[in-house]
Amino acid sequence: MNLFDIVGPVMVGPSSSHTAGAVKIGLTARRLLDDEIKEAVIDFHGSFLSTGKGHGTDKAVVAGLAGMAVDDPEIPDSFEAAEKKGISFTFGSVDLGDDAHPNSVRISLKGTGGKTLEMTAASIGGGQIQVQEIDGLKAVFSGDHPTLIVQNDDTPGVIADVALTLSSNNINIATLQLTRDSRGGKAAAVIETDQEIPEDAMYWLAHQDGVQKVTYLSLKEN
């Protein structure tokens, strides 16, 4: 256990879970979209819905979508900052079920370049988050590592192509999760790596047979 596990992150806001974690969720969604955000629909669940406004959770999520870090002093003015960037945003509610973490949010994004993303994530305490779904498919990761999400048809060979591409670029796999909605249906591979993945590798993967969408979380500053 390190010091930040005990005292929490350096942050702006009254709560590491309702504020700092919410900023990180918004920032992770922005990075995954990999496009300038045009529209954002933010639906809160559980405690985020019932007590989030008092903790500034709404401003925190929008701050992340606008590219702010958890210690940015402009977080209280995030609505104005987002509007200056051309980001329109609306808030709503969603019931994610009894098994969902109480500090959960579903974010739906549209980019100026036509990209879309739906992400469900939870703030699990101490400023840490857990992404739970991407575009309706289970995808569990922390957002603390470069992360590749490959959505594909559930057919042989796709995962072999992914592994070969990473190996040929000297990319080490830290964690690997495979999920599918049904046999022969939609599937997803969620891969956390130790190194950043080059753009040409992701472009090659995106154009392989059976691959529907490639989403990448880069931790490099834009």
Model pLDDT for residues 22-51, shown as the tens digit of each residue: 999 999 999 999 999 999 999 999 999 998
- pLDDT over 70 for what percent of the chain? 92
For residue 8, is it within any domain?
Answer: yes
For residue 142, is it within any domain?
Answer: no
pLDDT band at 148 (very low <50, low <70, confident <90, very high): very high
Judged against a pLDDT cut of 50, whether residue 3 lies above it is answered with no
Query: How are beta strands 88-93 and 37-45 bridged, if at all?
Result: parallel
**Domain-terminating residue out of 104, 134, 164:** 134
Do residue 165 and residue 117 come from a single domain?
A: no
Position of tokens 């060979």?
157
How many structural domains are present in the chain? 2
- Supply the pLDDT for residue 35: 95
Q: What pLDDT, in 10s, does the model give residues 53-85?
A: 887 899 999 999 999 998 899 999 999 999 999
pTM tops 0.75: yes
Do residue 100 and residue 77 come from a single domain?
A: yes
pLDDT band at 19 (very low <50, low <70, confident <90, very high): confident
- CA–CA separation, 150 vs 158, rounded Å? 9
pLDDT band at 87 (very low <50, low <70, confident <90, very high): very high
Quick check: 63 and 75 in contact, CB under 8 A? yes
- Supply the pLDDT for residue 11: 58
For residue 222, is it within any domain?
Answer: no
Do residue 42 and residue 121 come from a single domain?
A: yes
Judged against a pLDDT cut of 60, whether residue 2 lies above it is answered with no
**Domain-terminating residue out of 103, 134, 165:** 134
- CA–CA separation, 56 vs 52, rounded Å? 6
Q: Which domain holds residue 33?
A: 3-134
List helix spans (H) across 169-217: 199-206
